[in-house]
Structure 1
Amino acid sequence: MGRPSKPLLDKERITTTALELVDEKGDFSVPRIAKKLGVQTGSVYHHVDGRDGIVELLRERVCEAIDPTPLTSPGQPWEEALTVWARSYRAAFAAHPKAIPLLATSPVRAPRVLEQYELAAELLLDAGFAPADVMPVIIGLDNVVLGSALDLAAPETMWEPADATATPHLTQALAAMDAGRPDRAFELALTGLIAHARALLLA
């Protein structure tokens, strides 16, 4: 019999399987990946650079859904570019919320992901931001985006006062809250971040 036309194991299949495990359980292990793929654990290691390598493959896979075009659109104000990019960024991670704790606590090394951060840094520097202010703005944007992506996966009711008389103001506010809570909260936080960044630029 000849060699199979399609490899039984490659980075794409490993990444897909790892992401399935993360979406289901919030984490992965190389033995679990191997078991799902029906191969030996050592075979997986032949294709990836250990667990850290798989984490970066996961980061690249999730970030493939982020549209970097706004960061490179000629003539687009930096505020608008960051806002549109942030919405795309949020949507990409909202599709895989259980990956956020895993990816947010590991150093970013994936070249294709670093390329987007490079574009964001270039955008801010070209807009006139001081180099010392660039990373605080980008990290702040990360915090808003990833926190909001987790919020989209949260239960509809996050606050459940047992006794409304003990928390009358909170109860009133909760009763007035509409179904668009995650989107409204995200836009509020994003608008505030952009406004503060603009103040840094003008200082």
Structure 2
Amino acid sequence: MGRPRTPLLDRERITTTALELVDAHGEFSVPQIARRLGVQTGSVYHHVDGRDGIVELLRERVAQHIDVTALDLRPWDAALTAWARSYRAAFAAHPRAIPMLMTSPVRAPRVLEQYERAVILLLDAGFPLPDVMPVIVALENVVLGSALDLAAPETMWEIADDTATPRLAEALDAIGDNRADRAFELALEGFFVQARRMLETYAQA
């Protein structure tokens, strides 16, 4: 018999299957992936560097939808704004992957390259080296928190008795549409107010 036209197992199929499991359950295991693909667990390990290797494949798969060219824009705050919005959209498509990806070290070369470009952007803008990573991490906190918020129910507060928390009930009634988007824009604006203030302080020193 000749070889099958489509390989039974490869890194792309492993990544796709792992992401399907994470999207459905928030987690995956190598035996689960093997069962779904109809292969032995050991066969999966021939293609990936264990579970950590699959996590990095997931990171690359999600991050490939981030527009890294946004980091070529100028001025720096326009670049970070565009990058943040693209970053949020990419992770909002797979919110259950966020806890896993954000609690494991980043090793994927293509993802590290994005951080390299963000670091260069901030250094060129005038941020001192010790403050560069705190600025990036602060922006990520805004982005990833908002990506999770996009996946949350529109109504996150359920009040059984309006009389017990009347002002909260009024505030919830007044929210209107696009709560998550409005909250993200507010947090993003606050981030940039502080980041620009930091730059002004450096310039005056």
Both structures adopt the same fold (TM-score exceeding 0.5)? yes
- Distance in 2 separating the partners of 1:102 and 1:179: 30
Range moving further from structure 2, 168-177 or 32-41: 168-177
| Structure-2 residue corresponding to 1:29 | 29
Structure 1 residue corresponding to 2:145, chosen from 134, 141, 147 = 147
* Deviation for aligned residue 1:195: 1.0
| Structure-2 residue corresponding to 1:82 | 80
TM-score w.r.t. the length of structure 2 is 0.96
Per-residue CA distance 1:95-146 (angstroms, 9 max, x = gap): 0000001101101110000111111111000000011111111001111111
CA RMSD of aligned residues (A): 0.8
| Structure-2 residue corresponding to 1:47 | 47
Range moving further from structure 2, 166-175 or 190-199: 166-175
Per-residue CA distance 1:61-99 (angstroms, 9 max, x = gap): 0001000111013xx111111001000000000000000
Unmatched 5+ residue regions in structure 1? Answer: none
| Structure-2 residue corresponding to 1:158 | 156
- Distance in 1 separating the partners of 2:65 and 2:199: 30
Count of residue pairs the alignment pairs up: 201
* Deviation for aligned residue 1:7: 1.4
Q: Is contact 1:144-1:190 (8 Å) kept?
A: yes
- Distance in 2 separating the partners of 1:44 and 1:62: 21
Map 1:74-113 onto structure 2 (within 5 A): 76-113=74-111
| Structure-1 residue corresponding to 2:65 | 65
Q: Is contact 1:137-1:197 (8 Å) kept?
A: yes
Look up the SS of the partner of 2:90 in the other structure.
helix
| Structure-2 residue corresponding to 1:7 | 7
- Distance in 2 separating the partners of 1:195 and 1:13: 44
Q: 2:198 aligned with 1:200, yes or no? A: yes
TM-score w.r.t. the length of structure 1 is 0.97
Q: Which amino acid aligns with 1:180?
A: N
Unmatched 5+ residue regions in structure 2? Answer: none
Q: Which amino acid aligns with 2:68?
A: P
* Deviation for aligned residue 1:163: 2.0
Q: Is contact 1:133-1:200 (8 Å) kept?
A: no
